[in-house]
A = this chain, B = another copy of it.
Amino acid sequence: MRLSTPGNSRFAQASSLNIIYGGGEANMSVSLAQLGVASKHVTVFPKNDIGKAATSFFTKYGVDMSVVYEGDRLGLYFLETGAGARSSRIVYDRYNSAFANLDPAWFNWETIFRETSWFLFTGITPAVSAPAAEALLQALQTARSLGVKVLGDVNYRRNLWKYGKTVQEIMPQYMPYIDVAICSENDAEDILNIRPAANTENTFVSMAQQLQERYPNIKTVVTTRRTSISASQNTLQGIGYSNGQYFGTPVLTIDNIVDRIGSGDAFAAGLIYGLINYQDEAKALNFGNAAAVIKHTIEGDANLATVQEIETVMNGDTSGKLLR
């Protein structure tokens, strides 16, 4: 659950908070469902009214919810939306959530993966707790055995890993199962101790090559480059490496940012949509980047854009002309 102050007000000023429900993989599920791709979200919600309200939220946007209701609390975070030179601020409150306290035995991955072609995960899940990390490993093993392809968003957030294990201990276990990795140079260095070669022209390519060398299962490596002019104006570009080829999208400008949370998840979901529909990785990356750009104009964590809207941006029209 996300609780955000209205408009640009500060925490101490707010007398109400807007609520939406979100989270890395959940956002991807919503985004895919909105793009017309059947998507299922597997999770644990508390066995109370709040857990049920969360399910309603995702169901509304077309996600097939596979929820275990156990435990007492839903992880949540507080968001204060900045502007101009003032940063947005997040206060996390998700320890001891129902999800963190899951039992891996609750999930029958063979059943869950019936008729599934892609499994998506982020590096946030194993950061939450040991059983979450264990459940993820089991999911990946089953995915591999059933031929389900895997997108892994290697998303290292330093201040999340608090249950006693380090990212360096846990994350490498998952790498052999990934087909498409979202991974920046910083992530690769922090997690896998992979550093771009000295004096390389393209640090991303250097990193991607080393990554693929170590984990030949990773066919494609992508990431985004963001420039933050202010909290209200950014630029975004998707870059990728696959089959020995580097490719990058145009650098798109985002003015008057409405809500930037979840743009990485929009990117991942857009990429998957593209990979499924285009048979062209560069075009898929373009779709992913356009999806991420348009996410910044949408309130909430999840990208509620349509294929047509994203393709308009992907095709170079960022004019936002009125549609009557």
Contacts and interface: CB of A to CB of B under 8 A. Distances in A.
A61 B48 CA distance: 16
Contacts of A231: 297, 319-322
B59 A297 contact: no
B321 A87 contact: yes
Contacts of A57: 12, 60
Contact of A49 (B50, B89, B257, B300): B89
Contacts of A96: 95-96
Nearest to A6: B16
Nearest to A324: B90
Contact of A19 (B16, B229, B258): B16
A165 interface: no
Interface stretch (A166-174, A248-256, A265-273): A248-256
Contact of A17 (B10, B16, B52, B74): B16
A80 interface: yes
Nearest to A60: B60
Copies per complex of this chain: 6
Nearest to A84: B297
B49 A82 contact: no
Contact of A86 (B90, B95, B305): B305
A197 interface: no
Given A73-B93, A230-B320, A258-B83, A299 B18 contact: no
A323 B89 contact: yes
A298 interface: yes
A13 B258 CA distance: 14
A11 interface: yes
Nearest to A157: B324
Nearest to A296: B84
A133 B320 CA distance: 33
A15 interface: yes
A10 B323 contact: no
B12 A53 contact: yes
A193 interface: no
B72 A93 contact: yes
A177 B224 CA distance: 57
Given A17-B16, A61-B12, A320 B255 contact: no
Interface in A247-295: 252-258, 260-261, 293-294
24 contacts: A8-B297, A10-B304, A11-B50, A13-B15, A13-B300, A13-B304, A15-B18, A16-B16, A16-B19, A48-B91, A59-B59, A83-B256, A84-B297, A84-B320, A85-B252, A85-B297, A85-B312, A87-B312, A90-B324, A228-B321, A230-B255, A230-B318, A231-B322, A232-B320
Given A10-B298, A49-B89, A231-B322, 12 more contacts: A3-B3, A13-B300, A15-B20, A56-B60, A60-B60, A72-B93, A73-B93, A82-B297, A84-B257, A85-B293, A157-B324, A256-B256
